[in-house]
Amino acid sequence: MNSLQKEINLVSTVQEDDITKEIETYFDYRCENGTVMESIFVPDFPTDYQIGLIVGSSGSGKTTILNKCFGKDQIIEWDNRKSIASHFDSVQEASERFGAVGLNSIPSWLKPYNVLSNGEKFRADLARKLENRAVIDEFTSVVNREVAISCSMSIEKYIRRNSLQNITFCSCHDDIIPYLKPDWVYNTDSHEFYNGRYLCRPKIEIEVNPCHRKAWDMFKKYHYLSGELNKASTCYLATYKDIPIAFAALLALPGKGLLHAWKEHRIVVHPDYQGMGIGNKFSESLAQAYIEKGCRYFCKTSNPRMGEHREKSSLWRATAHNKKRRPDYVTANRGAKFRKERYEAHTNRLCYCHEYVGDGRKYPYTYSENGASKQMSLFDIAL
């Protein structure tokens, strides 16, 4: 891309005193009347782009270039008397923005900003900054690398999908580049200026195995509905580099006209790994394994991101109750032990209801049974 063309001159002045003079003497450094001058060379940045990234080590001039060429980062103010979701104009906008930054934990949406974790605060701030010509400094500097990667992936998808323009990031981490896929990258250490749009993302392999119900304890606080788990559940744990990152529970679905049918009872992805598409891939991989065994596989969710994915996917088929109110729900469960108000809540909740039908192909993983033991091999997440 373009060669270095601009020179930015920086001048800073401090009042001279005994300490500054002593330092000048010790290190043989001279500044006139406390004035320090420095020059930074930068390329001629594009004027039309979607994602730009300035990357480099601390102290290499990233923020200075950002401020001089693109403007200052916006400071987000939060009212801690309100939930973070209440700072948006509608539920739909909150859902889209939080989904864009991988903050998909419904309980976190309903918390005030001051009680969120550092990773959640980072994502919440980003959700409100994502506008045309946004300037985002210290991107991913305060979160672990898993959050950084997942957030970069989800933001890139949101920006491309909504055709946002001229969003400039600044970061000291270069591991996010293949996931953020910026239209241009400027490295302040090497002075390289290049296109990062077509870099290949590293493959992520997730291992899935049956697990005990106790594994639910690691994930139940992140589930958007109840933390309860049916004791009859068949449970699966997804791990990445031996780290538990997602949990799924399935239930046999008895009913007239249904033979060997199963339904997805719970599926949760750890917040650090949300936004990477793991939840949908996890669900579809389990579903594929079950239909290859001759079973039917059903899902019901009120999570809009997962529900809309299934609405658009040819792998899923909507059932008769998809996005419909269920006035029959309370009547049908009148003799059940659960509280009446729970069934009344289900009556008014519009849920996405689908059956997995697949596309007739077998995928690059296997599901084998040997007596009571079952094991699912690695499957790849397409990034």
Q: Within a 10 A sphere around the Cβ of 250, how many other Cβ atoms?
A: 24
Per-residue tokens: 290: 């079950």
Q: What is the pLDDT averaged over residues 270-290?
A: 87
pLDDT class for 347, splitting at 50, 70, 90?
A: low
- Of the ranges 17-31, 55-69, 114-128, which one carries the lowest mean pLDDT score? 17-31
SS3 118: helix
Question: Does the pLDDT of residue 203 top 80, yes or no?
Answer: no
pLDDT class for 382, splitting at 50, 70, 90?
A: very low
Find the Cα–Cα–Cα–Cα dihedral 365, 368, 374, 376, rounded to 10°: 0
Per-residue pLDDT tens digits for 112-160: 999 998 888 988 999 999 999 999 999 988 788 888 888 898 899 999 9
Task: Tell me if 54 sits within 8 A of 186, measured CB to CB.
Answer: yes
Evaluate whether the domain defined by 46-194 bears CATH number 3.40.50.1100: no
E-only strand ranges, the chain: 4-13, 35-43, 51-55, 135-136, 167-171, 184-187, 192-194, 204-211, 234-240, 243-252, 261-269, 296-301, 316-318, 352-356, 367-370, 373-376, 378-381
Q: Within a 10 A sphere around the Cβ of 9, how many other Cβ atoms?
A: 8
Q: Within a 10 A sphere around the Cβ of 191, how many other Cβ atoms?
A: 15
Per-residue tokens: 195: 């296109």
Give the pLDDT of residue 362: 58
Task: Tell me if 265 sits within 8 A of 233, measured CB to CB.
Answer: yes
Distances (CA, A) of 195 to 2, 64, 143, 284: 10, 22, 25, 34
Q: What is the pLDDT averaged over residues 165-170?
A: 96
- Of the ranges 213-222, 259-268, 294-303, 360-369, which one carries the lowest mean pLDDT score? 360-369
Sequence spans of domains, the chain: 1-44, 46-194, 204-381
Question: Does the pLDDT of residue 216 top 80, yes or no?
Answer: yes
- Say which amino acid occupies 275: G
Give the list of residues 6+ apart from residue 379 with CB closer than 8 angstroms, or none: 205, 206, 208, 281, 285, 363, 364, 365
Question: Does the pLDDT of residue 348 top 70, yes or no?
Answer: no
Strand-pair category, 204-211 with 192-194: unpaired
SS3 291: helix
Q: What is the pLDDT averaged over residues 237-259?
A: 85
Q: Within a 10 A sphere around the Cβ of 254, how many other Cβ atoms?
A: 8
Distances (CA, A) of 112 to 11, 102, 221: 41, 18, 17
Rounded to whole angstroms, the Cα distance separating 37 from 23 reads 17
Distances (CA, A) of 196 to 40, 60, 119, 371: 23, 20, 25, 50
What sign does the dihedral 222-146-158-90 (CA atoms) show?
A: positive
User: In CATH terms, are 46-194 and 204-381 the same topology?
Assistant: no
Give the CATH class of 204-381.
alpha beta
Q: Which secondary-structure segment (H or E) carries 121?
A: helix 118-129
Give the pLDDT of residue 53: 96
Q: Ramachandran region of residue 294, left (φ > 0), alpha (ψ -120 to 50) or beta? A: left
Nearest to 267 by CA among 303, 319, 304: 303
What mean pLDDT value characterizes the chain?
Answer: 82
Nearest to 68 by CA among 31, 33, 38, 35: 38
| Alpha carbon 188 to chain centroid, angstroms | 27
To the question of pTM greater than 0.75 for the whole model, the response is no
Task: Tell me if 136 sits within 8 A of 148, measured CB to CB.
Answer: no
